[in-house]
Amino acid sequence: MHHVHHDLKVYGGIKLFVGTGSPELGQKIADYLGQPVSEREVIEFPNENLFVKLQGSVRGQDVYVIQSTSSPVHRNLMELLIMIQTLRLDSAARITAVVPYLCYGRSDKKDQPRVPITARLIADMLEVAGADRYMTLDPHAGQVQGFFSIPGDVLTASHLLVEHINKNLRAEMHDPVVVSVDLGFAKKGRNYAADMDMPIAFIEKRRHGNDANAEALTLIGDVQDRDVIIVDDEVDTGGSIAQAVNVVKQKGARNVYLAFVHAILSRNGAERLAALPIKHIITTDSAPLSADKMRFLEGRLTVLSVAPLLGEVIKRAHEGRSVGEMFNE
């Protein structure tokens, strides 16, 4: 802690805690900040109950808990909640839940009768556990911000993907067009297209029931003889992507690239992507990617780290400086 501004310090020092759901990302954020990861014990008892013990005091400190809630979702979520409560009970001055990938983001509205709005429940749980603030990346729906009463930094990693494409892939692309994988992502897809100065096309799909296998139907826009960059916020089983790739290929697309933030890749998602005629995949480490999944996509996968982005936001939050300035806002 050498060169810290000794202007106005409301809280003590930064303390970083990392859950078992984000070990590598947590360490990278700590490295970016030049801070150690605070020691803690997390034990799962034989009866599946979780136990957390801090190895040092956090009284009066500015604490950040880094934990993605990807698979195993409920284990990671409960661990995060228990860790937050433990910090609260030890009198931390301020607790920020840093949740790069927030689970249940798709359950954001009642789109049919007799269903929950689980994203709202998750927000309530984080608050009740004792979080004072939160940080997350690319939630599936923007209104999730309104489910929290506590302030938060809802960030996007899209500029990392855009920057990488512009710098490393753009030169080899022929007449590229951005394709939004569904109409729900159309606005965000449009932002990708604008940032890369490319036209956009949309896939309109119709779902049947609650089956994860949606039905991709119509392509709105032109991909004939063009390279295509399919964009989405998260890829889960890869079903929608498989349909998108097939549709654009049928419509005469040349090379297909795929860019998305959260690599959830459940079940055989990685295998499924590997079997598709995709030239290159660009994603981030917001959720950990196992070695097995990486192996399926070897040579065709670029994983950009969100650690510098989250690290910088943590630093600014701690020092009480603007985060918007990072994005010229």
Among all residues, which ones are annotated catalytic? 205
Assign 37 to helix, strand or coil. Answer: strand
Beta bridge partners of 256: 228
Record the tokens describing residue 265, joined without a space.
């890749």
Helices and strands of the chain, counted as H and E runs: 9, 14
Q: What is the DSSP string of 268-314?
A: THHHHHHTS--SEEEEESSS---HHHHHHTTTSEEEE--HHHHHHHH
What type of residue sits at position 323? V
Q: What is the DSSP string of 96-161?
A: EEEESS-TTTT--S-SSTT---HHHHHHHHHHHHT-SEEEEE--SSGGGGGG-SS-EEEE--HHHH
